Structure 1
Amino acid sequence: MITVLRLGHRFERDKRISTHICLTARAFGADEVVFDVRDERVEDSVKRITDEWGGNFKVNFTENYKDFIK
């Protein structure tokens, strides 16, 4: 399982770059991207793309990235 951890997402400034990170991770075979903050716009955007193009890629969120890494 390949997981990408996205730290430091800023809602207004990073919505496009975070979506691009998800799409690039998906294209390179990652199974999921985990964010340190919840942004439903990014989650919805990636879900629509996954529904349209297929695959099991998912977006998750963690409140404590240090625990997630352990």
Structure 2
Amino acid sequence: MPAAAELRELADDQLLDQLGESKQELFNLRFQIATGQLENSAQISQVKRDIARINTVLREREIAAAEATTVEDN
């Protein structure tokens, strides 16, 4: 579980890679639930939080970039 501060230090491509890995892990966990193999259902909540953290950092960067271009235009 990376903290948001640790995620902010990563490059965009690394964040996107980690996002893809987390989404794949969530898919696998859901598959394990369906087949009755998942022992720790709390993992699903944790992975969802990780995905939300990554999306938050990406959105923060997107907003900062938009604000930077707005300031340059003025």
Range of TM-score over shorter length: 0.3 to 0.5
Larger Rg: 2
